[in-house]
Structure 1
């Protein structure tokens, strides 16, 4: 059974998708796309609480169970698992991520996988930046990426 819950956050509305006692999706949605909420189960409640703590600068690591196995190619899953390992408050370049996931010529492939990350924020694709230090792209929008990195910079100072 799939459980969906919508929440408002400092970076906009989020849709949390849960199945099998694990988060399988965390996506940005517009206010117009916010729909009826299912009754949150324990996993969704934990996710909401941890996101609230993260946005308040009180959490640097997520403990809510996630499941990436049901989506993406094996390469995308490799990228997403590597994203999950990027420490809070740190960034890496697309080039570094490419090298970690197969080779320096994989930058475009890792950028594509990054953009298809099904669990935004918790799997921190916002921590990947361009080699020159600029933000690069972000599915949720650069304003959201900048806000998330700002939350983490404040917490690490």
Structure 2
């Protein structure tokens, strides 16, 4: 078993816990903690520091894509959905139905929603960009208020 390391990032919408190995990031999730627990040390892995730096740039409106290595851990179907989510451009939205069509499984709308909810790479795999077919905000593991904030943030900093 590979050792997992943690680093917290204090974002404008709460503490984000970053988890990874020396090779890649495996989780970026909002924590409901009020304070940082996993702080940067001299021995903190470069991949965690890079992830934190890129998240900070994202929140400052300076980064639209992420370049640090990450690993998708899930079923083949989930990985397909998560990969499709990365195709939704910054500051835009897509529906579960559109993602199902993108992965060539039009009847899998509910399964797409389920996979979306199991995404543990918040912001980087932009599940916050998925909305209902009728344009309404749908569930978000980090809370609907965060989803709304992230969508508005991206609109505010959209470069196109």
Alignment of 1:73-92 (within 5 A): 73-92=75-94
- Structure 1: how far apart are the matches of 2:134 and 2:7? 37
Unaligned runs of 5+ in 2: none
The one of 50, 67, 89 equivalent to 1:63 is 67
The one of 48, 55, 59 equivalent to 1:51 is 55
Q: Give 1:93's aligned residue.
A: 95
- Structure 2: how far apart are the matches of 1:57 and 1:34? 23
Is 1:2 aligned with 2:4?
yes
RMSD value, Cα: 1.6
- Structure 2: how far apart are the matches of 1:132 and 1:146? 16
Structure 1 residues 104-149: Cα deviation after superposition (integer angstroms, max 9, x where no partner): 2211100000000010111100011100111111111110001111
Q: Give 1:129's aligned residue.
A: 131
- Structure 1: how far apart are the matches of 2:111 and 2:146? 22
How far the C-alpha of 1:29 sits from its partner, in A, is 0.9
How far the C-alpha of 1:31 sits from its partner, in A, is 1.1
Q: Give 1:155's aligned residue.
A: 157
- Structure 2: how far apart are the matches of 1:65 and 1:42? 11
Is 1:17 aligned with 2:31?
no
TM-score when normalising by structure 1: 0.92
Please list every run of at least 4 consecutive aligned residues from structure 1 whose deviation after the TM superposition is greater than 4 angstroms. Answer: none
CA 150–32 in structure 1, closer or farther in 2 if over 3 Å, else same = closer
How many residue pairs were aligned? 155
Structure 1 residues 37-66: Cα deviation after superposition (integer angstroms, max 9, x where no partner): 463221111111111111111111111111
